[in-house]
Structure 1
Amino acid sequence: HFGSTMKIVDHPTIEDIFKATETGVTEFSVVPVENSTEGGVTGTLDRLCTTTLTACGEINLEIHHCLLGNATSPEEVRTIYAHTQSLGQCREWIEKHCSHAERIPVGSNADAAAKAAGEPGSAAIAGEIAADRYGLNTLARNIEDEPGNSTRFLVLSKRPTPPSGNDKTSLIVSAVNKPGALVELLVPLLRENVDMTRLESRPSKIGLWAYVFFIDIVGHQEEEHVEKALETLRAEAGLYKNLGSYPAAF
């Protein structure tokens, strides 16, 4: 996606990843959006509502988790640090092998590994590369509960992406408070034959029981039929935000 000369910069939290690109420290951000086991990554979804960055790509990765720590076996672990999503993806394994351990959610698995490295009896759920980076032992491999556990990432930048011929467009919308409002929002997509691949709701945080909807559609915003659908959707939605169009990963 980026070439061999691109420098990779780790950040401890999703918020830090967003800020690095928003302030020009990095050119791109890669943030997790949804997982095949645990669903949407809430921290990313909430931050997408406020960012000025544009989606310019997506990456789909099969995720394999390891238990990393200073101990020699999982039985010695008293505390497990991990991102909330990772704790959920490994819930059954933890219950079977480390039910005695306290589970503490943190901002990222990199942050988890850093904490585990400084605390005897602690462990982290992270990729095996973190073992070398933080001087930890690999206590167990492939501890995710579901085979084929995958996470979809969005690539964000300050620059829009031209059509590639195989694109997606991501939107955030809200419906006005009336019966059938959400259905009405989707009618322009049906009318222009635009395929919707994802619809997910999140509390809007601006009113009790008010929601925003994250929508992914097939096609680039510069394609005529997509552009027409989005024009109508923009006019009818209570809130409309186009996160950008980008080459589809699958």
Structure 2
Amino acid sequence: MQRPDPANLADLRRAIDAVDEQVLALLNQRAGLAAEVGRRKLAAAPEGPFHAPRREREVLARLEAANAGPFPGPAVRTIFQEIMSACLSLEKPLRVAFLGPEGTFTHLAARHQFGGSSQSLPQGTIQAVFRAVERGGADYGVVPVENATEGAVDSTLDAFLDSPLRICAEILLPVDQALLLRPELDLGAVRRVYSHPQALGQCRRWLEAHLPQADRVEAPSTSEAARLAREDAEGAAVASELAAELFGLKVAEPRIQDLAANATRFLVLGPKEAEPTGRDRTSLLVLAQDGPGALLRLLEPLARRGLNLSRIQSRPTRRRLWEYAFFLDVEGHAADAPMAEALADLRAASASLKVLGSYPRAVPGAGDGSLG
């Protein structure tokens, strides 16, 4: 192709158009190859899994490493994740259940993980997300488990007590809360602010400083808050910018959360855990044996082998009075020798032990929770 004259804007635009056409042709070539892969998978195993998460992770890592610029590195993963999502939809769209409705941060996390071409299945409760995957109505589920400001999501921990599902990935998503208004509404005219209780808690100082005259109204989700604000002539919502797009609202103020580095951790639920990657985390559900030093006996096998305990949370089992379960996050994979030895000791020292899953650790700030 003839090089354009750098001084001629029209030449540069024609060159960009030509490159776009080449990119489109290559995308269709890739889609054709993906469709052929799907046909061969179907012939070999009609009921087998179409999604190959390890292959996906390897492709993304290779392309990120191969990028020489000037195309921005973080965008490589985002764009190619969407390309793979679209190509996979030609084989068999992934069905992803998440805590809905659409426009919530859990929806954003699901889109980040599986791309916009996956089939979104919003669920009304966290328990419903678990049930959708357990009964085969969804291939994966996405649920929140903790927020940097407001702490643990107890409903997610409780659901693991009776579920056979495994954690196969985690997503660490930066949570930027925005103040959403009807297009004609000014900040001074706001009399009610709708949002989920956690979102209101994350923005407490900003709301007190800028909207002291407005009542706080709790909603079941940030997305529902946006819908309520759209219907209220004096209402506003604390929600995501995606919710603004979905409900025709304007972003009056972006990033109003009190903690600048606010983030929420989400778990991806599936029928089996991920393979080792070398940077993994294992989540455990442990019931301690009654007696003095019970918790110490659970932690000692991890400490003795130098395994880092990154999180511990207790929850009542609701089976017997004063019986508590401990949820542990430990760095390492269950297949690693030190972890496997520690788990054997934990089984002997506990009333029961359940490995909820081993999965790649998400990179803070990157939201990287690729399935392993």
TM-score (norm 2): 0.61
- Among 121, 131, 150, which residue is 1:19 paired with? 131
Tell me by how many angstroms 1:207 deviates.
Answer: 4.6
- Among 20, 41, 45, which residue is 2:153 paired with? 41
Q: Does 1:173 align with 2:286?
A: yes
The one-letter amino acid paired with 1:110 is S
Q: Which runs of 5+ in 1 are unaligned?
A: none
Query: For the structure 1 residues 110 and 239, does the alpha-carbon distance in structure 2 shift closer, same or farther, using more than 3 Å as the test?
Result: farther
Query: For the structure 1 residues 215 and 158, does the alpha-carbon distance in structure 2 shift closer, same or farther, using more than 3 Å as the test?
Result: same
The one-letter amino acid paired with 2:153 is V
Tell me by how many angstroms 1:233 deviates.
Answer: 1.1
Q: Which residue of 1 aligns with 2:201?
A: 88
Aligned runs of 1:71-220 on 2, under 5 Å?
A: 72-220=185-333
Q: Which residue of 1 aligns with 2:336?
A: 223
Give deviations 1:145-188, integer Å, cap 9, x for gaps: 01111111111112221112221100122323322110111111
**Aligned residues of 1:79 and 1:123 also touching (Cα < 8 A):** yes
**Aligned residues of 2:314 and 2:326 also touching (Cα < 8 A):** yes
Tell me by how many angstroms 1:98 deviates.
Answer: 2.4
The structure number with the bigger radius of gyration is: 2
**Aligned residues of 1:113 and 1:125 also touching (Cα < 8 A):** yes
Query: For the structure 1 residues 31 and 224, does the alpha-carbon distance in structure 2 shift closer, same or farther, using more than 3 Å as the test?
Result: same
Query: For the structure 1 residues 184 and 113, does the alpha-carbon distance in structure 2 shift closer, same or farther, using more than 3 Å as the test?
Result: same
**With CA pairs under 8 Å and 6+ residues apart, which has the higher RCO, 1 or 2?**
1
Greater shift, 48-57 or 179-188, is seen at 48-57
Tell me by how many angstroms 1:221 deviates.
Answer: 0.9
**CA-atom RMSD in angstroms:** 2.2
**Aligned residues of 2:285 and 2:328 also touching (Cα < 8 A):** yes
The one-letter amino acid paired with 1:248 is R
Q: Which runs of 5+ in 2 are unaligned?
A: 1-112, 364-372
**Aligned residues of 1:41 and 1:85 also touching (Cα < 8 A):** no
Give deviations 1:210-237, integer Å, cap 9, x for gaps: 4322210111111222112112212322
SS in 1 for 2:120: coil
Compare the two structures and name the one with the higher strand fraction.
1
The one-letter amino acid paired with 2:207 is I
CA distance in 2 between partners of 1:138 and 1:120 (Å): 16
Q: Which residue of 2 aligns with 1:29?
A: 141
Tell me by how many angstroms 1:12 deviates.
Answer: 4.4
Tell me by how many angstroms 1:144 deviates.
Answer: 0.1
Aligned runs of 1:47-86 on 2, under 5 Å?
A: 47-70=159-182, 72-86=185-199
Number of aligned pairs?
Answer: 250
Give deviations 1:89-143, integer Å, cap 9, x for gaps: 1111111222333323333222322333334433322110111111222232111
